[in-house]
Structure 1
């Protein structure tokens, strides 16, 4: 940077939906309702998987933890978005942006790994049913959940520190709805190659690889189900796995599009839409997907409401 004049930036401006000035109040109402649905829907799943005796199995143990992660990582982004829409003050300090990015990435990594763990649980239950109680013991389940939470923490903290150790110069306008890694890296100057490469490396390590492991699990699951002679049995097993598979497609599909699309200014608007999809829309629909297609969960909800 020797000989280059630039203004050191100490805060960013989250542009968000500033290009829609007449819809700020409407968007605030929509996102507030969505946030309440996420909290209530996922909160109910956490409660019933803890208190209902019929749901004390590894599958529902993972589902309860998954719903907790959904609440956490949505709470990292949505309240700030609501405040920006309400006050029209879109400024965010670099420290606040770094904290938001760090927690957001940790929780996204946790969600990716938990989805892979849930796929492995279904694989063992369907492909190795006789060994299921031994392989998926409570101790193993707890270790898998803890591993999902802590695996990405050192990498994400180091990544965040490295990004924010670079100077932010030129424009301080972040064309996004929250502090996500690709748009933040775009505003840094100096030698950003390492950060840009690490964006893709992290996406491969913590998103693409778990996604491929999930696909491999479901290939084996589907092959096992198709070999069954009972039509009713095949339908029950497909029904058990379909909810998780729908969530996987929605979450990973939108997330991988954001991180693996080629860099281009004219698609930044699309990236914002896809980011909203995997950070807000899927957490809102996940409780519905799991409850509407699961008789056990519906029964537990009825007992909880009636009691």
Structure 2
């Protein structure tokens, strides 16, 4: 890739404006052995701040800023212990930014994370997509991937959610709010939203497009819909931690009156069919 392009991605990563796709491209480039052997001079300052630990990228910013950022690539998950002893489980293709000290309990999430927040008189704030979630001590899941609706689900305690119109909603256990073009609040089984933390894959009335996005991140594949109407089909299904991609696709195709084809290199999934079964 051209140095100018990589340099622009690096700048965006450092100032927190890089998209998920741009971040993945940058980390993939840096992770290549041939890149590491001929690393450009301008990259040295950035590389000195990057650590690859167990397949997870950590960025340590300047001591003055006292900020940390972690990026979890596709096909991986990671558990993070924050300075205030709160715990965050990050799902695949997710980024979390936070401060190294306990004076400010505020994080920025892009992707999906399950939070188990340590009780404290200082509010704990999560900025994710078009939402700001404030709690004192509770557990909840936030799903805030780019180009998808933001969904916040409470497992225990109480949280306050503010949308971009400054509307405030208070949620208690087993309540979920979805922020998109409209705001939807409903009662759910919170264990479904956090099933991924335990390796399970739960689908609760989600569209095929959303499911495909999740599977793309989980298995590192790319989906292609040969019939665009299939994207809108919805599913309810549950898979344990032993289910592989082919088994999942087989059941979804049966439910959905569709067929799937996996490319020879196992990287692309082609979905075809007439549409949803009623």
Please, what TM-score do these two structures have when normalized by structure 2?
0.23
Q: Which has the higher strand share?
A: 2
Higher CA-based Rg: 1
Q: Quick check: which one's helix share is greater?
A: 1
Higher relative contact order (CA 8 A, sep 6+): 1
